[in-house]
Amino acid sequence: MNVLSTTRAAASTAILVFGLLHCVAQQSPERPVATLSWLLSYDSTRHAGANAKVLQSDPRFRALLRRSLPQPALFLPGDRSVGNAAEDFIGEKPVVLQDRYMTIDGCVRHMCPELEGFLWIDTASAHSDIIFAALVAIPNGKADAVQLQLFHLWVFSSRPTSQSFMFENSEFLPDMFLYPLQDWFDKLSGRRIASVMFVGSDGRMKPLLPSALHLSGDSGQPHEKQDVQLGEQ
């Protein structure tokens, strides 16, 4: 009887503890976990000169890119992953926005402006959200009547492409990626995007219209930002 009583008491205690934890979980809203907060120390706007740190020299950064962006780099010859190739497309001056989002842009050495890149990282995302955009010049591509170089834009996400996104537009890229991407494109000059291809971490692809990313105009031309209402993937 003592064993039976002890077992019942233990079971009752376990049920009570589970119930209390369930209530606490319901009362406490989930908050993003800053799993990549170590990236914030590389903000080039706060650390310059002798105090500047080179992000690319941190082995955690290289491992993060290769782990998060395993898709084949279809825009380059050879057999490289996007996470591997992205290192060649970005510079050494990361910028942190709102103490959360890191962006780095640049171009491939000796291949500017034919190969340019833009990296975006949400340092507070529980899923370590990373998006890399590669701007690749179309050979012999010139816009009609204007000496603008035509480009194809590849957009690679660290998240897999869901079934609903493949066949509907029920979800899309986050605003906090789209706005810095537009600012980066606006800094460039003489570019026009002819086509866009989105690729999830699972390798599934979906073509997009440049206007869906608010990049349908020419780079270097001022324009008002659109008030878009886009949900995260």
pLDDT at 30 over 80: no
pLDDT at 31: 46
pLDDT higher than threshold 90 for residue 17 = no
For the chain, the domains span: 1-30, 34-213
pLDDT value, residue 7: 36
- Against a cut of 0.75, is the pTM above it? yes
Most confident of 12-21, 25-34, 105-114: 105-114
77 has pLDDT over 70: yes
- How crowded is the C-beta side of 27, counted as CA atoms within 13 Å? 6
In this predicted model, what pLDDT tens digit does every residue of 172-222 receive, in sequence order?
A: 789 999 999 999 999 988 889 999 999 999 999 999 989 888 887 778 766
Query: What is the pLDDT confidence band of residue 68, given thresholds at 50, 70 and 90?
Result: very high
Beta strands (DSSP E) in the chain are: 95-97, 101-107, 115-122, 130-142, 149-157, 191-199, 205-208
User: Which tokens hold the place of 219?
Assistant: 């780079």
pLDDT in tens, 149-183: 899 999 999 999 877 666 666 557 899 999 999 99
Residue-wise burial string across 44-73, b where 16 or more C-beta atoms lie within 10 A, e elsewhere: beeeeeeeeeebeeeeebbebbeebbbbeb
pLDDT of residue 222: 62
Alpha carbons 163 and 160: distance in angstroms, whole number: 9
Q: What percent of the chain has pLDDT over 90?
A: 50
Give the chain's length: 233
Q: State the chain's mean pLDDT as an integer.
A: 79
**Does residue 14 carry a pLDDT above 80?**
no
Question: pLDDT of 132-158, one tens digit each?
Answer: 999 999 987 665 555 668 999 999 999
Does residue 113 have a cis bond before it (omega within 30 degrees)? Answer: yes
Distance in angstroms (rounded) separating the CA atoms of residues 3 and 216 = 74
Distance, in Å, from the CA atom of 227 to the CA atom of 98, rounded to the nearest integer, reads 19
**In this model, does residue 16 exceed pLDDT 50?**
no
- pLDDT tens figures, 43-61: 998 866 655 678 999 999 9
State percent of the chain over pLDDT 70: 70
* Lowest mean pLDDT, pick from 34-43, 80-89, 163-172: 163-172
Which residue in 102, 117, 192 sits closest to 150, CA to CA? 192
Confirm if 63 and 83 have CB atoms less than 8 A apart.
no
